[in-house]
Structure 1
Amino acid sequence: MIIGLISDSHDHVQNIENAVKIFKERDVELILHAGDFCSPFTIPPFKGFNLKGVFGNNDGDHYLILEKFSEIGATHLGSFGEVIVANRTIALYHGTNMPITEALEQCGKYDVVISGHTHEKRVEFVKNTLAVNPGTAHGFDEEATIALLDTEAIDVSFVTLD
């Protein structure tokens, strides 16, 4: 299974739409968003996908974000989520508190830990857990990125958004 990973989109609707286009082209079956959507208007472009997301520290109106998730049939997991797909247990956390991120990566319970917050791409094995940060979909005048996780190979590839 190929899972689309995105984080820190920070209201950049054009890059979200570019990410969604790539996810469609790559036959992504699930999108995991590690937070910092920021505004509720950034949720509708994900309509038609199996989207699961968590809150980031810059997400504004939690109530309206949850409402937009509901409107498109997506699942919001709160501040932390555990997702089990393709025999893999995945933790999804924005990454605001680094000791929590590190504990998730080191505890041995998860095959993959997805986090964001730093806006820096990362893929690294911590013991037997793959730690992934897809970077920032916003880009902030630098490289805007998303990632694709192959659950069978436990492999990640990064894609730069145009």
Structure 2
Amino acid sequence: MLIGICSDSHDHIENTKIAANYFKSRNIGQLIHAGDYCSPFIIPLFEGLPLHGVFGNNDGDKFTLMKKFDAIDATLHGDFFSFSEDGLKFAVYHGTHEEITRSLEKSGTYDVVISGHTHEAGVETIGDTISINPGSVNGFDGDAMMALFDTGSKEVKFKEIDQL
């Protein structure tokens, strides 16, 4: 299965539209957003995608964010969630506290840990765990980025939004 991964939209409408349209064109099985949508008005841009997300440290109006997720038949899981897909166990956490992110990565409980927060796209293998940060959809402090993860090959591909 192909999983789309993004984080840190920070209200950037144009980049979020580009990212959402790209994920739709790839026919992904799931879209994971690791938080920092910021304002609830950004959520409808993900309509039609199998969206699952967590809160980030800049998400203020959590009640309305949850309502917007419900309105597009998506799931906002709170600060953390885990799921299994194709025999792999995933953890999703925004990454606000590096100690928590590192603990998830080192626990040996998860095959894949997805986080955002730093706005720095990267993949790292820690023991047997693949740690993925898709970077920032907003791109205000660097390149606007997102990622795709293939559960079969365990390959991560980063996509620069400006080049789509």
Q: Which residue of 2 aligns with 1:159?
A: 159
Change (3 A) 1:141 1:117: closer
1:145 counterpart residue number? 145
Provide the secondary structure at the position in 2 that maps to 1:21: helix
State how far apart, in whole Å, the 1-side matches of 2:99 and 2:141 are. Answer: 29
- 1:34 aligned residue: 34
Cα displacement string for residues 68-113 of structure 1 (whole angstroms, at most 9, x for unaligned residues)? 0000000111000102122211100000000100000000110100
Percent identity of paired positions between Structure 1 and Structure 2: 50
Q: CA offsets per residue over residues 88-145 of structure 1, 9 Å max, x none?
A: 1110000000010000000011010000000001101000000000000000052100
Residue in 1 that maps onto 2:111: 111
Counterpart Cα distance in 1 of 2:87 and 2:47:
25
Tell me, in whole angstroms, the C-alpha distance in 2 between the residues paired with 1:141 and 1:101. Answer: 22
Using the size of structure 2 for normalisation, the TM-score is: 0.97
Structure-2 separation of matches of 1:132 and 1:52: 16
Q: Aligned partner of 2:2: which letter?
A: I
- SS of residue matched to 1:43: helix
> Which residue is 1:102 aligned to?
102
What is the alpha-carbon distance in structure 2 between the residues aligned to residue 73 and residue 26 of structure 1?
A: 20
Rounded to whole Å, the distance in 1 between the matches of 2:111 and 2:34 is 16
Counterparts of 1:10-159 in structure 2 under 5 Å?
10-140=10-140, 142-159=142-159
Structure 1, unpaired ranges of 5+: none
The one-letter code matched in structure 2 to 1:154 is K
| Shift of residue 60, structure 1, vs aligned partner | 1.4
Q: What amino acid is aligned across from residue 64 of structure 2 in structure 1? A: L
The amino acid of 1:148's aligned partner reads L
Matches of 1:57 and 1:146, distance apart in 2: 19
Kindly indicate whether residue 42 of structure 2 is the aligned counterpart of residue 8 of structure 1: no
Hey, what's the Cα distance between the residues in 2 that align with 1:123 and 1:19?
19
Measured in 1, the distance between the counterparts of 2:51 and 2:124 equals 24
Q: Which amino acid aligns with 2:22?
A: I
Secondary structure of 1:103's partner?
Answer: helix
